[in-house]
Structure 1
Amino acid sequence: MSSRVHIGLGSNLAEPAEQLRSALQAMAQIARTELVGTSAFYTSDSLLPGQPRYTNAVAALDTGLEPLALLDALQAIENQHGRVRAERWGPRTLDLDILLFGEQLIDIPRLQVPHTQLHLRAFVLYPLAELVPADYQLADGRTLAQLLAHCPFVGLERL
């Protein structure tokens, strides 16, 4: 049985758009996983001042993997792209976050789904809205439309 999973992608170092394109190709190669959709790319300001702008997107995957196995595969892709975890919200070559994992509500030390900051991040919500309908209901009961209504399209530029 497979689950529809949505992955947030972000990069602000080393040709960010190319990092995202390469990551999408790598995700398409994950065992028991199929890349079924990709949003447009967006640029956004960093959460911390003084950093380069980010390029962001959201991908939809169908996977037969369990959540932690998929997380391990995504972190391996980050590492292959030179990801360094030096500071929270610091600059990065690649960041891959599991935003939604089917209908699952996951709260374990390594993984929280829906992503805990999802409702605050226009650079995630607007690309996600390209892949799921506005009435899409998250595992915690909120709809995408409700989240979008409280998160304006500010500081984003669709590429």
Structure 2
Amino acid sequence: MARTSYVVALGSNRRGRHGSPRAEIAAALAAIGGVTAVSPIVTTPPLGPSLRRFANAAAIIESDEAPPALLCRLKAIEQAFGRRRGRRWGARVIDLDIILWSGGAWADARLTVPHRAFRARGFVLGPLLAIAPGWRDPLTGRTVRQLAHRQRAVDRRARDA
């Protein structure tokens, strides 16, 4: 497969062997390799039942792996960092998600790219906006900048309601 680019979202809200959630993100970036751009790390409220705030970031990586192969590698990194499958949206040492791929869209039984929920997640769009504002969602044709603007408007309406 030819070398392509991916956007990977990173999140952590639990200390691990590398230290704080921010340190876990930095260590995960080193483990992933091929990183060409990294957003600032932002702190966000938890989604779902978790009580701990999350450290979130986005990175662009270059890889010659097909999406399923990259997914397997990211899941192996999560496991090596101490991530255990369990309650959805619970506390986690590291969470690594493929958000976008320069090859467009991909879907199989284990993976859908673009990530199904990224358009509605400010904790993904905010960091992504810092490194790839012009990257287009292959399904909607909208840029990350447009998606982030729309999500901020939804968040404002929800706060004002």
Shift of 1:50: 5.0
Q: Would the alpha carbon gap of residues 86 and 136 (structure 1) be closer, same or farther in structure 2, given more than 3 Å must change? A: same
Equivalent in the alignment of 2:25 = 20
> What is the rounded CA distance, in whole Å, between the counterparts of 1:130 and 1:36 in structure 2?
13
Kindly tell me the number of residue pairs found equivalent between the two proteins. Answer: 148
* Structure 2 unpaired stretches of 5+: 156-161
Secondary structure class of the residue paired with 1:130 = helix
Secondary structure class of the residue paired with 1:20 = helix
Secondary structure class of the residue paired with 1:6 = strand
> What is the rounded CA distance, in whole Å, between the counterparts of 1:89 and 1:27 in structure 2?
22
- What per-residue deviation string (whole Å, max 9, x for no partner) do you get for residues 111-146 of structure 1? 11111110111111011111113x432111232132
Flag the structure with higher strand content: 1
* 8 Å CA contact retained: 2:8, 2:99: yes
* 8 Å CA contact retained: 1:10, 1:96: yes
Q: Which amino acid aligns with 1:117?
A: A
Does 2:7 match 1:6?
yes
Secondary structure class of the residue paired with 1:152 = helix
> TM-score with structure 2 length normalisation?
0.87
Aligned positions of 1:81-100 closer than 5 A: 81-100=81-100
Q: Which amino acid aligns with 1:76?
A: A
Aligned residues: percent identity?
Answer: 36
* Structure 1 unpaired stretches of 5+: 29-33, 155-159
Shift of 1:40: 0.3
* 8 Å CA contact retained: 2:50, 2:89: no
> What is the rounded CA distance, in whole Å, between the counterparts of 2:14 and 2:50 in structure 1?
13
Q: Which amino acid aligns with 1:136?
A: W
> What is the rounded CA distance, in whole Å, between the counterparts of 2:136 and 2:24 in structure 1?
30
Aligned positions of 1:8-157 closer than 5 A: 8-14=9-15, 15-28=20-33, 34-133=34-133, 135-140=134-139, 141-152=141-152
- What per-residue deviation string (whole Å, max 9, x for no partner) do you get for residues 66-100 of structure 1? 11111111011100110011111111010000000
* 8 Å CA contact retained: 1:103, 1:139: no
> TM-score with structure 1 length normalisation?
0.88
Equivalent in the alignment of 1:31 = none
> What is the rounded CA distance, in whole Å, between the counterparts of 2:88 and 2:50 in structure 1?
14
Which of structure 1's runs of 4+ aligned residues deviate more than 2 A? none
